[in-house]
Chains A and B, each alone.
Chain A
Amino acid sequence: KQEVTQIPAALSVPEGENLVLNCSFTDSAIYNLQWFRQDPGKGLTSLLLIQSSQREQTSGRLNASLDKSSGRSTLYIAASQPGDSATYLCAVDQYGNKLVFGAGTILRVKS
Chain B
Amino acid sequence: NAGVTQTPKFQVLKTGQSMTLQCAQDMNHEYMSWYRQDPGMGLRLIHYSVGAGITDQGEVPNGYNVSRSTTEDFPLRLLSAAPSQTSVYFCACRSGQGSEQYFGPGTRLTVT
Chain B interface, number of residues (Cβ within 8 angstroms): 25
Chain A interface, number of residues (Cβ within 8 angstroms): 24
| Contact partners of A99 in chain B: CB under 8 A | 33, 35, 43, 45, 101
Tell me whether A83 is interfacial, beta carbon within 8 Å: no
Tell me whether A96 is interfacial, beta carbon within 8 Å: yes
Residue in A34, A42, A89, A97 whose CB lies within 8 Å of B42: A89
CA distance A96 to B103 in the complex (A): 16
Say how far B71's CB is from chain A's closest CB, in angstroms.
Answer: 16
Q: Which residue of A lies closest to B6 (CB)?
A: A43
| Contact partners of A31 in chain B: CB under 8 A | 97-98
B50 pairs with A97, CB closer than 8 A: yes
| Contact partners of B33 in chain A: CB under 8 A | 98-99
CA distance A36 to B90 in the complex (A): 14
Tell me whether A49 is interfacial, beta carbon within 8 Å: yes
Q: Given A98-B45, A99-B45, A103-B40, A42 and B101 touching (CB < 8 A)?
A: no
| Contact partners of A96 in chain B: CB under 8 A | 97-98
B97 pairs with A103, CB closer than 8 A: no
Q: Mark B43-86, 1 if CB is under 8 A from A, else 0.
A: 11100101000000011000000000000000000000000000
28 contacts between A and B (CB under 8 A): A4-B42, A31-B98, A42-B105, A42-B106, A43-B103, A43-B104, A43-B106, A44-B92, A45-B103, A89-B42, A91-B43, A96-B98, A97-B97, A98-B33, A98-B45, A98-B48, A98-B58, A99-B33, A99-B35, A100-B59, A101-B35, A101-B42, A101-B43, A101-B44, A102-B42, A103-B40, A103-B42, A104-B42
The 4 A-B pairs of least Cβ separation, nearest first, read A101-B42, A96-B97, A96-B98, A44-B103
